[in-house]
Structure 1
Amino acid sequence: MFRGAARMFSVVTTTSVCRGILSSIRHYCKKTPTKLRISKALSGAELGANVRVQGWVRSVRAQKTNLFLHVNDGSSLQSLQIVTSSKQTDPLLTFGSAVEVTGTLKKSPHQKQAVELEADQIHVVGTCNPPDFPFKIKERHSLEYIRQFPHLRCRTNAFSSLLRIRSEATTAIHSYFKENDFVQIHTPVITSNDCEGAGELFQIEPSSPEKEENENFFSVPAFLTVSGQLHLEVMSGAFSRVYTFGPTFRAENSQSRRHLAEFYMVEAEVSFTQSIEDLTKVMEDMFRFATEHVLAHCAEDVDLFHKHVTPGHRDKVDSMLKKSFPVITYSEAIDILNRSSQKFVFPTHWGCDLQTEHEKYLVKHCGNIPVFVTDYPYDLKPFYARDNRDQPEHTAAAVDLLVPGVGELCGGSLREERLDLLRARLEEAGLEDTYSWYLDLRRFGSVPHGGFGLGFERYLQCVLGVDNIKDVTPFPRFSRSCHL
């Protein structure tokens, strides 16, 4: 009997201890605030919970009994309203300061916001002196103005929206290629070849003073890449669909609104194709997929641009998505330009390179939607472009995608897979030794293939209607400018 009683006492004691522990855990959990991103708090998923948010103050408004703050952490265009007693007013709590706030997330009684945070404690993590801060509370600054402050402009609504859109567009492009069975290739930033042949290269040299004269770190001259195309062509000898997405560089001494010294390129290569239509289909499908994804997943951020930065541009984007992209030949494009009553700065004749003014006119002529231009003069294209030998005019199987507001967005071609023709072209240019490895690709299991490159910043310009390419990249690099 005593043994049974002892066992019963043990069970009761253990049960009581467990209940005590559970009670302590519940008490602890209730007291410990849940850390939330602002976007999650705004969703209302944690209503009634004790939460903690961190971010930067976008506005401060003091009333007789209450103090109202709007705090943003970059996860959403919208800020979270913080309500606290005016007794908690802290002189360090200013526009631009960094804060950590704990309190209860509640349904807001006001129509302007669905939820608000009733603060128990506000801790100023980093102070900000408003008179010295270049951005003013409740003032809508132009893209040109905030461009002067590359280290601070991410604090503005417009540029934080741009960066979220840029991030989502990147995700969309990777998703498109993944869904269409492309293999991503990390092509090198340092290369020994000049894919474009224009000579606009940044050469890489060690900064060490011990460098001997005529000595190359890589044994050969090395440069920052102008394109990952040739490396993708290597991979297209083993994979039928490959792509890369990364930084490329051009030493262009340009201050234009559509050129940068460093920009991002989306490049793809498709094997077993002898059709330009195969390339234009990928270009058009990717453009539509990425744009529809961005419009769906960044609706508020895109609306900010289309309403306040580039009013009316949304209608143009919708028009681009509703219609198939027309296709015209280079010869047809020259005829259109020659028949135009518009006076161009650069003359138009068969064999001329199309300039931005020509490209924008062609887009307008075709209904202000993207247009493909194919079959350019052979002499205008690099050595790798396929020779259209069956056409009366000497053209290459090349294509450009021209879009509203920008001009050229994509450039591509079928690649010359015929060894004899490729060797003759390289010999003519004096490049046979330099590109002997490229000839090997045609000697060992070569197949007809083609590819293209898309300027990512120009894509963002097109979709958002932004006039200057410097306003769609975090840290623009161009001649006589390399801040940060």
Structure 2
Amino acid sequence: MMLAFRGLLRTLRGCHLPNSRRHMSAALKLNVRQALATEAGSGERQQEVIVQGWIRSVRAQKEVLFLHINDGTSLQSLQIVADPTLENRDLSFGSSVEVRGKLVKSLHKKQSIELAAEDIRIIGPCDSLAFPFKQKERHSLDYIRQFPHFRCRTNTFSSLLRIRSEATAAIQSFFKNNDFVHIHTPIITSNDCEGAGELFQVEPTSKVGISGENPHFFNVPAFLTVSGQLHLEVMTGAFTKVFTFGPTFRAENSQSRRHLAEFYMVEAEMSFTESLQDILQVMEDLFKATTAAILSKCPEDVELFHKYVSPGQKDRLEHMLKNKFVIISYTESIEVLKKADDVFTFKPEWGCDLQTEHERHLVKHCGGVPVFVVNYPFDLKPFYMRDNEDGPQHTVAAVDLLVPGIGELCGGSLREDRLEMLHTRLDRLGLEDAYQWYLELRQFGSVPHGGFGMGFERYLQCILGVGNIKDVIPFPRFSHSCPL
């Protein structure tokens, strides 16, 4: 091994290695992932390449200097072998560099290829002593959350962002492959889809040019959207399958591990369906297809979470994927909860909403498999859910998907498409004027339809075993916190 290093060093020392930039027109620019996948050439067939990235480690020996650099394209870093005379205070953990050299076979067991440096240019030095992350430490998610402007530089969070990117692509692919049309629903809306009143109102900071009796910029109160569902329902008058995927907002004064003020929702709506089972099937297929794609595209990144963040999550996830999701009615779930040995903070009673502690018990009761709870009490759900007309225990055709460790992941329903029943319900709630346009959808070519929404961040929590939702979004927004 030492003979090989000495031969390499003779090559390196024949080159000009200080930080001055040499002519690089003949060099092939590669990212780290491409470099790691390249087969090393030999002799004259070796082509010069350029790799740019950030130093993850520096190790100087008597006759050789080792660097590892990463550019976010791979969990694995590329080893750089250089002349030790290059070592100086700027070649430090966190510094950004550009390296030119030749890819050669590595003698190290953990990598097949490395870059023999002929030139290293320091682009941005880093004061590693003051930098909040240290070279040889594995920092907790709680710790790195304190540095939202730096946490993308950690292995854990860069893995999360690659997984998030692949999950986004997989969701888009699932809907495209199943003939859904992607609709860009508005972020600013005059509708409160959920009816909960937890809205961020939108008005300009300056009132210049706004005068008269109406003080609103849009002439009506406008809000950041809590859901794209109602706009998707508009589209079901012309398309049989539609979906949207974008940011949604809730003005909840919550510091919990499950809630954010800004988060991403995947929402779908399907026309010509009169069966709640159709919606359940799409939910299950979306979960399994997206997860399979992530496991295929990001095995090392997922393994990092399953090994260091949530040991045992790999087996739990495999259990979810290989089993059919369970279906249980709301009424049956209340009976299960009443018979439970657990002492609940909120007593389970028919007509009361399920709490997180109830949801987690139901998943455990069903063997750790995701659970569809269907047919909720009429009075618990919003006006747009279809009335089951089922007697004393008045229910609607609604569903929540509960998953291990998280609780509710998806919510959906058949929509009330019968004009008179919808008219009566809106009139009783005092919403008829505000939703006149919604009534008109039922007057002109309406069809039975239904849909659902899935919280994207909660989905990532579920598959990775991350306990806090703030650790699966690039820049978390929650009450009393908007640092940048």
Q: Could you state the TM-score of these two structures normalised by the residue count of structure 2?
A: 0.93
- CA deviations over 1:84-136 (Å, ceiling 9, x no partner): 11012232110000000000001101111110000000000001001110000
> Shift of the alpha carbon at 1:483?
1.3
- CA deviations over 1:318-353 (Å, ceiling 9, x no partner): 000010001000000000000001100011110000
> Do the aligned partners of 2:328 and 2:373 also contact (CA within 8 Å) in 1?
yes
SS class of match (1:388): coil
Matched, 1:247 2:241: no
User: 1: distance between equivalents of 2:121 and 2:24?
Assistant: 20
User: 2: distance between equivalents of 1:63 and 1:235?
Assistant: 65
**2:30 alignment partner in structure 1:** 36
RMSD, matched Cα: 1.3
**1:56 alignment partner in structure 2:** 54
User: 1: distance between equivalents of 2:128 and 2:460?
Assistant: 32
Whichever residue aligns with residue 37 of structure 2, its letter is S
Structure 2 counterparts to residues 210-289 of structure 1, below 5 A: 210=208, 211-212=210-211, 214-289=214-289
> Do the aligned partners of 2:189 and 2:223 also contact (CA within 8 Å) in 1?
yes
4+ long deviations beyond 4 Å: 211-214
Among all aligned residue pairs of Structure 1 and Structure 2, give the percentage whose two residues are the same amino acid: 67
**1:9 alignment partner in structure 2:** none
Structure 2 counterparts to residues 335-374 of structure 1, below 5 A: 335-374=335-374
Structure 2 counterparts to residues 78-89 of structure 1, below 5 A: 78-89=76-87
**2:7 alignment partner in structure 1:** none
Match of 1:201 among 199, 202, 205: 199
**2:165 alignment partner in structure 1:** 167
> Do the aligned partners of 2:385 and 2:396 also contact (CA within 8 Å) in 1?
yes
SS class of match (2:91): coil
Aligned residues: 457
Matched, 1:417 2:421: no
**1:124 alignment partner in structure 2:** 122
User: 2: distance between equivalents of 1:153 and 1:183?
Assistant: 35
User: 2: distance between equivalents of 1:195 and 1:46?
Assistant: 57
User: 2: distance between equivalents of 1:430 and 1:180?
Assistant: 38
Match of 1:150 among 148, 157, 170: 148
User: 1: distance between equivalents of 2:342 and 2:80?
Assistant: 57
SS class of match (1:204): coil
Whichever residue aligns with residue 92 of structure 1, its letter is D
**2:175 alignment partner in structure 1:** 177
User: 2: distance between equivalents of 1:315 and 1:267?
Assistant: 28
**1:73 alignment partner in structure 2:** 71
> Shift of the alpha carbon at 1:46?
5.8
Whichever residue aligns with residue 224 of structure 1, its letter is L
User: 2: distance between equivalents of 1:167 and 1:321?
Assistant: 21
**2:5 alignment partner in structure 1:** none
User: 2: distance between equivalents of 1:222 and 1:31?
Assistant: 54
- CA deviations over 1:231-285 (Å, ceiling 9, x no partner): 0000011000000000000000000000000000000001001100000000000
Whichever residue aligns with residue 325 of structure 1, its letter is F
> Shift of the alpha carbon at 1:392?
4.7
User: 2: distance between equivalents of 1:187 and 1:158?
Assistant: 32
> Shift of the alpha carbon at 1:45?
4.1
Whichever residue aligns with residue 107 of structure 2, its letter is P
> Do the aligned partners of 1:31 and 1:50 also contact (CA within 8 Å) in 2?
no
User: 2: distance between equivalents of 1:434 and 1:30?
Assistant: 64
Q: Could you state the TM-score of these two structures normalised by the residue count of structure 1?
A: 0.93
**1:13 alignment partner in structure 2:** none
